[in-house]
Chains A and B, each alone.
Chain A
């Protein structure tokens, strides 16, 4: 009797076990661990760092212009004598929250559109043709256009990049929905009288979460890079509030004489994007081994 009891594990326990298995696999994944450490350090620096230095990132000082890295200015100072370390730490707040916002907004809208298109087949062709058309414009150009239209401010960068990445997210979600909707458990749910909304929320969404999360980590990385590129082109978050992108953009004119101004924020961008990409690689290996790189 007890043997039979043991052999049949209740479904809740199976789900729990599965979740633990995912966590164990992630904990054993080398690039996931490196990525997690990198991202955690950068996020902590952005949150705590500004409090520790206690310097105003916009405080100018004519006497300390263009000081190379030293004990007083670990990352040097810029053309207004502002401390680059402080500016990079503050810039991290803006750049990282920008990346997070873009990832979350693309995730929500991409999932909505992808699930709708994949589940309700009648509207699928129309929605996906629109997504295809949006994807026909290079992401950076679309973002430049929308960013210029909305004016140079952090919120318009978020909108511009989200518009560029929603179609790519929607396509990935739709692809997994198309597979899920043919599964037997979905037919079972339908036969037992479950409504569309119930099926979508309880069965479809949870099952396309893996590829979605993977995609969002990559979008986070793209968004940080794109913010830097847009700032460089003059349509990023406006100075004097620092973002990694606009510190590099401001340092560009002095890149030969004062290389430190653009070197350190560039390193910060690279490390943040590297961390998110490593995290994404790890998550992909564990959550969705079939997925290939999408840009």
Chain B
């Protein structure tokens, strides 16, 4: 087990390095001069030149890459130009918001998505099946921010049930306001993943329910509930775990847009603000962290995979 984790982590090193290089290249693709951004609109050319030298932007590009890598090796992700704080502390400050949103959204998505998927597979070709497929289709066809705005009009403006925007921290504002500020964005995010998860669970269950051991279980008198729930779903779980990486990346991508609509001060909003303000180190650092998170999530999924399905090995 320990060996599998090490092997899988080693395999991800080249990708992690490439992710770092790509984040660097992406920042250098952005037009404009960071030195001018920091110096401000009415700075003298000499002041701009001084800042450029301070930031090391007058060095050849490969030397800048090298020094950035050296910094990364020491855990330095750079400092924001606009926010007057390091990238890591800016991310750490906003991480609870995005994590709360993701956790709440997963809490809604997992039980509903899996249950719908099992029901659709069990009552194959019935109206339940058709309904689940319809939800899945809506999830991949409707723009999330559009649904979010419509939802605000209905639940915040018209009915006044929940606030339309903003975030209430769990520790200072208490669980009530925290939940109220997140439930609407989390439901909007979930709408898009429930369909995907249900569809994946459905096709995995369809494969399993046709197997001989299901018929055997029924034949020897195991209750229908246990047959489907235990014998069936335990085996379909492998396929569900496989897509959990995709679910998490959908969640990360979706939260960028949803945080924007609901003005939640999370990481997605941080990146978008960084891009708009041409805050190069911030974009570079956050993109890198996003990339790392994604690669490591996939490593974790692969490792969980070996736990769920002992036949899978990484050697």
Interface residues of A (CB under 8 A from B): 129-130, 132-134, 136-142, 144-146, 148-149, 151, 221, 225, 228-229, 232-234, 248, 252, 255-256, 259, 262-263, 266, 269-270, 273-274, 277-278, 292-293, 295
Could you tell me if A269 and B146 are in contact, using CB atoms closer than 8 angstroms? yes
CA–CA, A136 and B296, complex, Å: 10
CA–CA, A74 and B146, complex, Å: 21
Inside 8 A of A130's CB, which chain B residues have their CB? 18
> A145's contact among B140, B157, B196, B275, by CB below 8 Å, is which?
B275
CA–CA, A132 and B141, complex, Å: 26
CA–CA, A184 and B141, complex, Å: 41
Interface of B, helix, strand, loop or mixed by DSSP: helix
Question: Would you give 17 A-B contacts (Cβ < 8 Å), ordered by A?
Answer: A129-B14, A136-B290, A138-B253, A138-B256, A139-B253, A142-B26, A145-B29, A146-B26, A148-B276, A149-B29, A228-B143, A228-B146, A229-B145, A256-B153, A262-B146, A266-B146, A295-B196
Interface size class for chain B? Answer: 35 or more
Could you tell me if B149 and A129 are in contact, using CB atoms closer than 8 angstroms? no
**Nearest CB of B to A89, in Å:** 19
Could you tell me if B276 and A234 are in contact, using CB atoms closer than 8 angstroms? yes
Inside 8 A of B143's CB, which chain A residues have their CB? 225, 228-229, 232, 248, 266, 269-270, 273
Could you tell me if B141 and A144 are in contact, using CB atoms closer than 8 angstroms? no
CA–CA, A200 and B252, complex, Å: 38
- Annotate B287-310 by CB proximity to A: 1 below 8 A, 0 otherwise: 100111011000000000000000
Could you tell me if B290 and A221 are in contact, using CB atoms closer than 8 angstroms? no
> A293's contact among B14, B196, B287, B295, by CB below 8 Å, is which?
B196
Inside 8 A of B287's CB, which chain A residues have their CB? 137, 141, 145
Could you tell me if A138 and B290 are in contact, using CB atoms closer than 8 angstroms? yes
The 10 A-B pairs with the shortest beta carbon distances in the complex, nearest first, are A133-B18, A138-B253, A274-B141, A273-B141, A266-B146, A136-B291, A149-B29, A136-B294, A149-B30, A148-B275
**Nearest CB of A to B10, in Å:** 13
B19 at the interface (CB under 8 A from A): yes
CA–CA, A263 and B150, complex, Å: 8
Could you tell me if B29 and A146 are in contact, using CB atoms closer than 8 angstroms? yes
Inside 8 A of B292's CB, which chain A residues have their CB? 136
**Nearest CB of B to A129, in Å:** 5
Could you tell me if A233 and B257 are in contact, using CB atoms closer than 8 angstroms? yes
Inside 8 A of B200's CB, which chain A residues have their CB? 292-293
**Nearest CB of B to A204, in Å:** 27
B283 at the interface (CB under 8 A from A): yes
CA–CA, A262 and B146, complex, Å: 8
Could you tell me if B142 and A273 are in contact, using CB atoms closer than 8 angstroms? yes
